[in-house]
Amino acid sequence: MEFKEVEDCTIYKVIHGSHAYGFATEASDKDIRGICIPRKDYFLSMDQRFEQYEAPNEDTVIYNIQKYFNLAVACNPNVIELIFIDDPKLILKETSWIKEIKENRDLFLSMKAKHTFSGYAFAQLKRIQTHRKWLLEPPTHCPTRDEFGLDPKDPMSSSQMGALNKMIAMGSQLDGTAMEVVRKENAYRNAKMHWDQYQTWQKERNPARAELEKKYGYDTKHASHLVRLMRMGLEILKTGKVIVQRPDAAELLEIRRGLYSYDDLMSFAEEKEAEMTALYEQPEKCAVPYTPDRKKLNELLISTIESYWAIQLANQNVIKMMNCMGDDIKSQYKE
């Protein structure tokens, strides 16, 4: 869909990210997210498909309401928080349809938050550890096939490698020579991918962020996100609330500026993961259900879409009626 059509059918639009959390800096981008209800043919047609709109050259994403519900019911950290933003300064557009969804937003919450929030947090941790290794022990050169005992003139195709790896995963036995070649190919390709990722990181990293990494020995921005995600996940399990406007915003900003040592961060991640796991293993102590009520959410989704389409159809009929009227009758309606 084009921008104008997306704008017209958008029922909700907010500023999220660091501005919503309360620790934005002058350098922080303004991230905008929204929900829209496309025309009926985008749901029913064989040819029309629409999941989300991404604005070129800016960080704006508008989700089809159907996709939004699927992501939110899975407790996706980047998505679930949108309907828990209540600050009027952050809400760019809010309609009656989204207000009804917000009234029922707790239906989306479940113990799935343990997996999604800790999963996203440990993705940040993985990046921190990878970047730290690059800082302390940077790769010195692009790996070659020779180094791995492979013929430089006879590389195996990706499709061949994929087929062989699938056979091994399914328990098929390859002869010793073939197995050794596959092992060497995998090792080489992993090393090459690691080198390519290092090169991309070197070229694209923000200069100010690079200075912080150099000073503290790890990526402090990733650290602040890790801490926020772990705390938000625990809050959902303990209180049944998604606290977007962070009461710990000042501390999170200081973490981004290097408050934690690398060892402090590792200890924090280990401690909070253990706390979350212990809580997850005792469902009776959690403030949210084990799984969300998909039946009620489906009913909410269907009723919201049908209500929206009904209003749109009524508006179209009024416009058609007005267009069929004479100018003298139109003037009476305007008066």
Q: Is 22 exposed, middle or buried (0-12, 13-18, 19+ CB in 10 A)?
A: middle
Distance, CA of 303 to CA of 292 (rounded, Å) = 18
Q: Could you give the dihedral angle defined by the CA atoms of residues 270, 272, 277 and 283, in that order, rounded to the nearest 10 degrees?
A: 170
For residue 206, what pLDDT is reported? Answer: 84
Name the residue ranges covered by the structural domains of the chain: 3-108+293-334, 113-284
Contacts (Cβ under 8 Å, ≥6 apart) of 252: 21, 23, 224, 227, 228, 246
- Residue 245 has a pLDDT of 97
Phi, psi of 50 (to 5 degrees): -150, 120
Burial class (CB in 10 A: 0-12, 13-18, 19+), 275: middle
Per the listing, tokens 């195709």 go with 157
* Prediction pTM value: 0.85
Nearest to 232 by CA among 83, 127, 78, 108: 78
List the one residue out of 214, 210, 224 whose CA is nearest residue 265: 224
| pLDDT for position 178 | 77
The pLDDT of residue 97 is 96
User: Mapped to the 3 state alphabet, what secondary structure does the chain carry?
Assistant: CCHHHHHHCEEEEEEECHHHHCCCCCCCCCEEEEEECCCCHHHHCCCCCCCEEECCCCCEEEEEHHHHHHHHHCCCHHHHHHHHCCCCCCEEEECHHHHHHHHCHHHHCCCCHHHHHHHHHHHHHHHHHHHHHHHHCCCCCCCCCHHHCCCCCCCCCHHHHHHHHHHHHCCCCCCHHHHHHHHHHHHHHHHHHHHHHHHHHHHHCCHHHHHHHHHHCCCHHHHHHHHHHHHHHHHHHHHCCCCCCCCCHHHHHHHHCCCCCHHHHHHHHHHHHHHHHHHHCCHHHCCCCCCCCHHHHHHHHHHHHHHHHHHHHHHHHHHHHHHHCCHHHHHHHHC
CA distances from 333 to 192, 321, 322, 329 (A): 71, 12, 9, 7
The pLDDT score that the predictor gives to residue 328 is 57
pLDDT for res 158 = 81
Q: Are 291 and 110 in contact (CB under 8 A)?
A: yes
**pLDDT means over runs of 10, the chain (335 residues):** 92 96 88 95 87 90 97 97 97 96 97 97 95 93 93 81 81 78 89 94 88 91 96 97 97 94 96 96 96 97 96 77 62 53
3-108+293-334: CATH, from 2.60.60, 3.30.450, 3.30.460, 2.30.30: 3.30.460
Q: What's the pLDDT score for residue 67?
A: 97
